[in-house]
Amino acid sequence: MILRKKDSIEEFDVEAFIRNCNSFAPKRYTYTQIKKMTNSLANVIGKGGYGCVYKGILPDGRLVAMKVFKQSKSNGEDFINEVASMGRTSHVNIVTLIGFCYEMNERALIYDFMPNGSLDKFIFDQENGSTTRCLEWKKLFEIALGIARGLEYLHRGCNTRILHFDIKPQNILLDKDFCPKISDFGLAKLWLNKDSVVSLRSARGTAGYIAPEVFNKYFGGVSHKSDVYSYGMLVLEMVRGRKNIDPIVSHTSEIYFPYYIYKDIEMGKDLRILGVTTEEEKELARKMVLVSFWCIQTNPSDRPPMGKIVDMLEGNLQQVQIPPKPFLFSPKRSPQQSTESS
C-alpha cells in the first residue's frame, strides 16, 4: 500500500511507493528544486482545477513539464492517483512520470515535455469549437491507433491494471512526431481483477465522455468498458472535427450525435466528412467511424475490449461489421426545448 495512517490522517507513503514501482521508478525532488528548475514557476503551459503546468529544465538540460498542485486537501487524492498509476507504467503511448515532489502541502509531478501540446488544439477551433482540420487523415488515424494501444496496455499490459476514467482530447499529449501519449491520471483507479466490476463512490470524468453506467448503475457495472466508451467519443470528435456536446445546450450534457454519419454508413455511401478525398482517406475515416460507434454502445457488454479495437483498426475494413445504432443520442434541439427538458 502507498497510504499510511498518521495522526488519523491518510498520508502518501513515499518510500513504499518507490519500493512498489518497477525499474522505471520516478525520482523524488524537493520543492526548492522544482522552483529552481521552473525559474520560480515562470512559464505556464497549462491550467486546470488541480493547479498549473509549468515548463522546466532538469539539471541535465532535459525539457520537462511540471504539474504543480494547488495547496488544498482536496487535491491529495488526484495526486496519489497519478503517482500510484503512472509509477507502474512504461509504454510508448503513456506519458512517462520522471519525478515527483511531496513536501507537506507542496506537490508536483514531472513529465516529459510534449512540444505539440494536447490533441484538442488540432481537432477543435479554439474560439468556438467549430470544424477544423489541422492534421491529415493518415496522421489522425495513427493518433487514434496509438491511443487505443495505450489504453489496451493500461487495461491488460500493466502488472496492475488501470482504469483511466478521463479519456478526452485534452488528456492526449503529442510529442514532436505527433505520437500520442495518454496523460492526467488524476481520476484513475487501480483494477486488480480483469473480470471484476469497479465500485465508485460517485461519477467521475468529463461531460460528453462519461459512459452511461458511470453515472447510472441502471446501464450496468463500471469496468474497462467505461474507458472504451470515452475512447469512442474521442474518436468521433477526431472524425468530425467538433465537440460531441452541442455548445448551445452544453448545460444539459446532451450528446449531439450526428445522425447523418450513421445513415451514410448504413446506406454504404461516402461519408460527409471534411477533408476526405482519396480512397485511402475514405477507408481510414470509415474505419474510425465504425470503431467509434462500436465503442459508444449503451450496453457495456456490447462494446469490444481495447485489444479488439486495436485489431479492428489494424485490420481490413471489410472485416469490421456495422454496429447497432447507439441508443443514447438525440438530434440537436433549441435552447428552449433543452431548458424545458432539464
The reply, when asked if residue 67 is annotated as ligand binding, is yes
Q: Tell me the torsion sign for CA atoms 305, 225, 157, 184.
A: positive
d(CA 66, CA 106): 13
- Structural contact between residues 112 and 99, judged by C-beta atoms closer than 8 angstroms: no
Task: Identify the active-site residue in 7, 13, 78, 166.
Answer: 166
CA distance linking residue 119 with residue 135, whole number of Å: 10
> How far apart are the C-alpha atoms of 281 and 41, rounded to whole Å?
43
Largest CA distance in the chain: 66
Residue 166 appears among annotated catalytic residues: yes
Joined together, the cell numbers standing for residue 161 give 491494471
CA dist 236 to 1, 5, 167, 169, 195, Å?
38, 44, 13, 11, 27
Question: What DSSP letter does each residue of 25-63 carry, written as one string?
Answer: PPEE--HHHHHHHTTTTT-EEEEETTEEEEEEE-TTS-E
| Geometric angle at alpha carbon 130, from 250 and 94, rounded to 5° | 80
Residues at the annotated binding site?
67
Q: Point out the residues that are catalytic.
A: 166
Q: Write out the binding residues for ATP.
A: 67
